């Protein structure tokens, strides 16, 4: 257990937790960028906004790729690291959670939905580009699995898209603004399991540091902010972070 990480958390009371794919690995969700990950099997650009608005072949390829992503994610349960974040929230230490993940595991661990800022959306629903109606994504993907290559809106027949950020989409302005506001209000930005390679999401911790917050990074991979970090630990979250939170008592 890292006593330094425990002391870092203990000495701050307005913490912004910023999470990436690494926090969900212990839930069985693979890192898509690692060897053998999803992005080694399919071209990530297949899941692009252009494909959603493309011809029949492009849209069919999009839905096949999204089905493969959803199958890789599966139906995971939150792990000890998610629960540790929630525990810090209940102690009044964590003000907000900003996540790049689309798995909804922070909410499943008990973090109030209003406190979780999902920069890339989630895998819960689709929305119709025609009438705006929503449908559970799992139901739409079952249609694709059953042979419906081009699922459409049951109300108006319009094109569907997942309610998440795909390649070529801008980040939702409202969520991005909330994330930057949280960054400027925290006294510690604690990065958990993110390599900080995806922008503009990865600019949130840098914004917090510019505003005077302490920057702590706990992740196995190097990041572009390592040299600026006040605290840096390369260790599995299920060990270092969880044990540090438990040691707070």
**From 12, 53, 120, 155, the catalytic residue:** 120
What are the CB-based long-range contacts (under 8 Å, 24+) for 150-159?
A: 150/56, 150/59, 150/60, 150/63, 151/63, 151/126, 153/128, 155/128, 155/131, 156/128, 156/130, 156/131, 157/130, 158/128, 158/129, 158/130, 158/131, 159/52, 159/53, 159/59, 159/128, 159/129, 159/130
Asked if 27 contacts 105 with a C-beta cutoff of 8 angstroms, the reply is yes
d(CA 6, CA 209): 20
d(CA 155, CA 146): 20
Name 193's bridge partners.
none
Torsion of CA 20, 189, 172, 142, to 10 degrees: 30
Name residues whose C-beta falls within 8 Å of residue 11's C-beta, 6 or more positions apart in sequence: none
Three-class SS state of 140:
helix
Half-sphere exposure of 15 (CA within 13 A, CB side): 24
Question: Is 120 one of the annotated active-site residues of the chain?
Answer: yes
Active site residues: 120
């Amino acid at each position: 257990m890292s006593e330094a990480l425990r002391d870092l958390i203990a000495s701050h009371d307005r913490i912004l937790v910023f999470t990436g794919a690494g926090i969900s690995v212990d839930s069985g969700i693979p890192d898509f960028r690692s060897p053998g990950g999803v992005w080694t099997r399919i071209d990530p650009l297949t899941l692009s906004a252009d494909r959603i608005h493309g011809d029949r072949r492009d849209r069919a390829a999009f839905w096949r790729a999204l089905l493969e992503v959803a199958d890789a994610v599966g139906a995971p349960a939150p792990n000890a690291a998610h629960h540790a974040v929630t525990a810090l929230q209940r102690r009044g230490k964590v003000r907000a959670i900003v996540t790049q993940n689309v798995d909804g595991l922070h909410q499943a661990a008990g973090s109030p939905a209003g406190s979780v800022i999902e920069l890339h959306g989630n895998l819960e629903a689709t929305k119709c580009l025609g009438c705006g109606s929503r449908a559970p994504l799992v139901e739409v993907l079952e249609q694709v699995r059953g042979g419906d290559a081009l699922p459409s809106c049951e109300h108006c027949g319009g094109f569907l898209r997942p309610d998440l950020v795909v390649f070529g989409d801008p980040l939702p302005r409202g969520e991005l603004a909330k994330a930057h506001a949280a960054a400027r209000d925290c006294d510690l930005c604690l990065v958990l399991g993110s390599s900080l390679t995806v922008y503009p999401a990865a600019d949130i911790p840098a914004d917090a540091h510019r505003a005077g917050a302490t920057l702590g990074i706990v992740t196995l991979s190097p990041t572009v902010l390592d040299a600026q970090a006040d605290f840096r630990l390369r260790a599995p979250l299920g060990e270092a972070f969880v044990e540090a939170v438990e040691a707070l008592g």
